[in-house]
Amino acid sequence: MIENQIRAALETLPGVRSTVGLGGSGEKYILALTGEDPVALASAASAVERDLRTIPGLGNITSTASLIRPEIAVRPDFARAADLGVTSSAIAETLRVATLGDYDQSLAKLNLAQRQVPIVVKLQDSARQDLDLLGRLSVPGARGPVMLNQVASLTMEGGPAVIDRYDRSRNVNFEIELSSVGLGDAKTAVTKLPSIQKLPPGVRIAEVGDAEVMTELFASFGLAMLTGVLCIYIVLVLLFKDFLHPVTILCALPLALGGAFVGLLIGQKALSMPSLIGLIMLMGIATKNSILLVEYAIVARRDHGMSRWDALRDACHKRARPIIMTTLAMGAGMLPIAVGFGAADSSFRSPMAMAVIGGLITSTVLSLLVVPAVFTYVDDIEHWIRRTVRKLRGQPADPHIDDDLAETPAAGR
Q: 209 falls in which pLDDT band (50, 70, 90)?
A: low
Sign of CA dihedral 238, 239, 245, 250: negative
Q: Which of 17-21, 95-99, 281-285 has the highest mean pLDDT?
A: 95-99
Element holding 265 (H helix, E strand):
helix 252-266
Read off the DSSP letter of residue 192.
T
pLDDT, tens digit, for every residue of 332-382?
A: 888 888 887 765 566 677 888 888 888 888 888 888 888 888 888 888 888
SS3 160: strand
Could you tell me which of 74, 240, 87, 218 has the C-alpha nearest to residue 156? 74
Least confident range of 3-7, 107-111, 142-146 = 3-7
What pLDDT sits at residue 404? 53
Q: How far apart are CA 205 and CA 96, in angstroms?
A: 35
**Average pLDDT in the 177-200 region?**
81
What pLDDT sits at residue 17? 35
pLDDT at 308 over 50: yes
Q: How far apart are CA 144 and CA 294, in angstroms?
A: 94
pLDDT, tens digit, for every residue of 23-34?
A: 334 577 788 888
What pLDDT sits at residue 8? 43
**Average pLDDT in the 81-106 region?**
87
Contact between 189 and 55 under an 8 Å Cβ cutoff? The reply is: yes
A 10 A CB-CB count for 44 gives: 23
Q: How far apart are CA 401 and CA 62, in angstroms?
A: 72
Contact between 185 and 55 under an 8 Å Cβ cutoff? The reply is: no
On the 0-12 / 13-18 / 19+ scale of CB atoms within 10 A, 309 is middle
Q: How far apart are CA 142 and CA 111, in angstroms?
A: 35
Read off the DSSP letter of residue 62.
E
Q: Name the average pLDDT for the chain.
A: 79
pLDDT at 409 over 60: no
pLDDT at 248 over 60: yes
What pLDDT sits at residue 152? 92
Q: How far apart are CA 401 and CA 391, in angstroms?
A: 14
- Find the radius of gyration of the CA atoms of the chain: 36
**Average pLDDT in the 206-231 region?**
75
pLDDT, tens digit, for every residue of 47-88?
A: 888 888 888 878 888 887 767 778 888 999 999 999 889 999
Q: 214 falls in which pLDDT band (50, 70, 90)?
A: low
pLDDT, tens digit, for every residue of 383-400?
A: 888 888 888 877 766 555
Least confident range of 13-17, 97-101, 172-176 = 13-17
pLDDT at 239 over 60: yes
Contact between 400 and 305 under an 8 Å Cβ cutoff? The reply is: no
Cβ partners under 8 Å of residue 285, min gap 6: 256, 326, 330, 356, 359, 360, 363
Q: How many helices (H) and strands (E) does the chain have?
A: 15, 11
Tally of residues, the chain: 413
What pLDDT sits at residue 335? 85
Cβ partners under 8 Å of residue 346, min gap 6: 337, 340
pLDDT at 144 over 80: yes
Q: How far apart are CA 101 and CA 120, in angstroms?
A: 6
Helical spans, DSSP H, in 53-104 = 78-84, 88-99
pLDDT, tens digit, for every residue of 155-183?
A: 888 777 777 777 778 888 888 888 767 77
What pLDDT sits at residue 139? 92
A 10 A CB-CB count for 203 gives: 22
What pLDDT sits at residue 273? 75
Q: Which of 60-64, 137-141, 213-217 has the highest mean pLDDT?
A: 137-141
pLDDT above 70 covers a percentage of the chain that reads: 84
